[in-house]
Amino acid sequence: MAGGCVVGDTPPRDGVKIVARNRKARREYEVLAEFEAGVELVGAEVKSLRAGKVSLPEAFAKIENGEAWLCNMHISPYAQASHGAPDPLRRRKLLLHRREIKRLGSQTREKGLTMVPLDIHFRRGKAKVTIALARGRKTRDRREVLKRKAAEREVDRAIRDSGS
């Protein structure tokens, strides 16, 4: 079968297969802009990634010497790897255009914004990460967002229940 699908398995929509999401990022940060960047991986890290052995909640990105780096993303070593696995928490280079790196670097320096990964996925067989340019939320802001979402859920539930 073409496309590498198993019988009964539905192919990923738009050629994108999401491996992991950083749910903590949307809760703790206000996302202002999103960028898609390639990730430079070595050895069996790709196989570990395809198996979903990745953790994003503590990860962040930074610009250093004109290069973008993804730090604290944990990729577990691949069990069937024949030779030594790299450090699971090593810094991984992000593949972005130079103008994107300059823009992100200037906004993080001047406006005090942060770069956090939202998800990691495969697009046409290449590992990509969605990076968000974000502003940290205060604890009270998080509570307000949670209250607003709970109120919206209550309204939706009431509308759904009254319609039956």
Reduced to 3 states (helix: H, G, I; strand: E, B; else coil), residue 43 is: coil
Confidence (pLDDT) at 65: 92
Mark 92-113 as b/e (b = at least 16 C-beta within 10 Å): bebbbeeeebebbbebbeeeeb
Confidence (pLDDT) at 98: 94
- Between 7-11, 23-27, 67-71, the lowest mean confidence (pLDDT) is in 7-11
Task: Check: CB of residue 92 under 8 Å from CB of residue 43.
Answer: no
Domains of the chain: 13-137 (2.40.280.10)
Q: Is pLDDT above 80 for 8?
A: no
Question: Cα separation of 48 and 159, whole Å?
Answer: 44
